[in-house]
Structure 1
Amino acid sequence: MRASPGILLNTPRIEIWPGGLLHARSNRDARLLARARHVLRRKRDGRYLAADLREGLQPLLPSLRHEPGIDDALAALRRVHERRRTGIDVVATLPLQRLRERLQALGLDDGYGERSGLPLVPEPDWLALAGFDRYRRPLWLHVDAARAWAHLREAALRDGVLLEAISGYRSHDYQLGIFERKLARGLSVDEILTVNAAPGYSEHHGGRALDIGTPGEPPAEESFERTPAFAWLCDHAAEYGFGMSYPRDNPYGIVYEPWHWAHAPG
């Protein structure tokens, strides 16, 4: 795979971001990130681990060599520098590592998928930059979904409708963090499961799901169904391979989500 400013390399524990997209958290990090070709970022908590500079890898924490998953990340980084052919490899998926550990952290067992009817969703081994979301965060999607989203958004704009991405790809670890933050606010796991799928079972993991909004409308609210943007999606999204995943009375026990649309594999 050739290095590209629009590719996020994904490994089970560590993401490899292209340089220039991450904000520095200290003056030292700012100097390194300004020169970095890539940045290694821990998926569990977003911690920056190392900057890939032209003169070599610069650790951003002293214990980098003991970081879980670092060997996989360094192997992926070497592939970036070793392979110079043009084009992008076929998207593969990561192994479903630590799934049981994540479920057990929430008091769930291996039967969650069968009970909910939700399939397991592995993460892609790389994702494409599909622009930026409403909050100016990089929007990462499966490359096929990224192309379809661009065409969908352009078509809507021609009809006078502005669609905004609220969120796209989420890792299994990020999904666990959503649960942990909501638990800290006093919600129960059962309450959270009506809104968020358990880690490993969210469509966002595959990089094909988008939460969509429109200017002036709060994110992820049922009121989105009363907007021209929602009406346009209902009429035209299928032409671009997108469908609403969680209509009213869906069989998964997920609340009605008029904002959540997923791209079907071609």
Structure 2
Amino acid sequence: MRNAPHLLINTPDIEIWPGGLLHARSNHDARLLARASHVLRRKQDGRYLAAQLAGGLMPLLPRLADAAGINEALAALDTRLTQPARIPPPPGTLPLDRLQQRLDQLGLDEARYAERTGLALVAEPAHLALAGFDRYRRPLWLTRAAARAWQRLQQAAAVDGIALEAISGYRSHAYQLGIFERKQARGLSVEQILTVNAAPGYSEHHGGNALDISSPGEPAAEESFEHTAAFAWLQLHAATFGFHMSYPRDNPHGIVYEPWHWCLASRDDAPN
């Protein structure tokens, strides 16, 4: 967890990925990504912006200097490149000052939504750790504490003959907004989507401490997961590793029952 290649550096507009974890659509980009120590990736649409090579930064789109947030991202990258790899970066979170703009796009009022649901704003971590890979072989990003806890949980389940698979972990505010936009494009209303997905800024996934869990052969994020041996094992043992199920039946937040969604408790709530 402490090596630089295993860390995602997070800024408000741009994620800085370690090299070797991203796939390119073109042969040209694939060759660059294969040689890169880090890749700058825009949160809004997943576009690759630049690759950090041994000889310097290689732009992957025209007018890189005009990209939103590029100066902040380059400063964060420079800090990481000049810091010894053995020293983990300090914990921290990103500001929430752009959240209202995303809620405005959905026609949501921040104060009314928070009062109605009882959900708290969740800031994004400044750094995330590679916790392995999910069912779809995508990198699974969590906070360092959640990554360690998830790996211990998964290993303990395996000892008992239970296979646990991660479906998703950290999600940015921008990604959460994209979920709403894609569902709206399919004809769903914002109110319909809010019964399944928290508004951008209010999902536990933003904080890097929550993940969706399933087991081999089971559909992802379906209520049927509660009938599996994996869910029964989680009910008995997850709390030992600091995890709790956030959205039980009839929860006060207006979120549907989610037996697949588990979150690492805060230090104040975590078991001794």
What is the TM-score when the length of structure 1 is the normalising length? 0.98
Q: Residue 260 of structure 2 corresponds to which residue in structure 1?
A: 259
- Residue pairs, 1:78-227, within 5 angstroms: 78-84=78-84, 86-111=86-111, 112-227=113-228
Q: 1:179–1:192: 8 Å Cα contact kept in structure 2?
A: yes
Query: Which residue identity does 1:124 align to in structure 2?
Result: P
Query: Which residue identity does 1:214 align to in structure 2?
Result: S
Q: Deviations over 1:91-136 (max 9, x none)?
A: 1000013101100000101221122110000000000000000000
Q: 1:100–1:110: 8 Å Cα contact kept in structure 2?
A: yes
Q: Deviations over 1:25-65 (max 9, x none)?
A: 11110111110000000001000000000100000001100
Structure 2 vs 1, CA of residues 238 and 30 (structure 1 numbering), >3 Å: closer, same or farther? same
Structure 2: give runs of 5+ residues left out of the alignment.
Answer: 268-272
Instruction: Tell me by how many angstroms 1:89 deviates.
Output: 2.7
Structure 1: give runs of 5+ residues left out of the alignment.
Answer: none
- Distance in 2 between the 1:86 and 1:218 partners? 39
Q: 2:142–2:209: 8 Å Cα contact kept in structure 1?
A: yes
SS in 1 for 2:30: helix
- Distance in 2 between the 1:188 and 1:166 partners? 25
Instruction: Tell me by how many angstroms 1:85 deviates.
Output: 6.2
Q: Residue 36 of structure 2 corresponds to which residue in structure 1?
A: 36
- Distance in 2 between the 1:78 and 1:63 partners? 20
Query: Which residue identity does 1:89 align to in structure 2?
Result: P
Q: Deviations over 1:145-187 (max 9, x none)?
A: 0000000000000000000000000000000000000000000
Runs of 4+ in 1 over 3 A off after TM superposition: none
Query: Which residue identity does 2:107 align to in structure 1?
Result: G
- Distance in 2 between the 1:138 and 1:113 partners? 31
What is the TM-score when the length of structure 2 is the normalising length? 0.96
Q: Residue 238 of structure 1 corresponds to which residue in structure 2?
A: 239
Q: Residue 27 of structure 1 corresponds to which residue in structure 2?
A: 27
Q: 1:41–1:47: 8 Å Cα contact kept in structure 2?
A: yes
SS in 2 for 1:129: strand
Q: 2:215–2:230: 8 Å Cα contact kept in structure 1?
A: yes
Structure 2 vs 1, CA of residues 47 and 138 (structure 1 numbering), >3 Å: closer, same or farther? same
- Distance in 1 between the 2:147 and 2:81 partners? 24
Give the alignment's Cα RMSD to 1 decimal. 1.0
- Distance in 1 between the 2:117 and 2:148 partners? 31
SS in 1 for 2:258: coil
Moved more, 83-92 or 35-44: 83-92
- Distance in 1 between the 2:34 and 2:114 partners? 43
Structure 2 vs 1, CA of residues 198 and 123 (structure 1 numbering), >3 Å: closer, same or farther? same
Query: Which residue identity does 1:242 align to in structure 2?
Result: F
Say yes or no: does 1:47 pair with 2:47: yes
Q: 2:4–2:85: 8 Å Cα contact kept in structure 1?
A: no
Say yes or no: does 1:74 pair with 2:63: no
- Distance in 1 between the 2:180 and 2:40 partners? 24
Instruction: Tell me by how many angstroms 1:87 deviates.
Output: 2.5
- Distance in 2 between the 1:64 and 1:46 partners? 15
SS in 1 for 2:231: helix
Query: Which residue identity does 2:219 align to in structure 1?
Result: P
Identity of aligned residues (%): 70
Q: 1:3–1:80: 8 Å Cα contact kept in structure 2?
A: no
Q: 1:12–1:97: 8 Å Cα contact kept in structure 2?
A: no
SS in 2 for 1:248: coil
Query: Which residue identity does 2:125 align to in structure 1?
Result: P
- Distance in 2 between the 1:40 and 1:164 partners? 28
Moved more, 109-118 or 237-246: 109-118
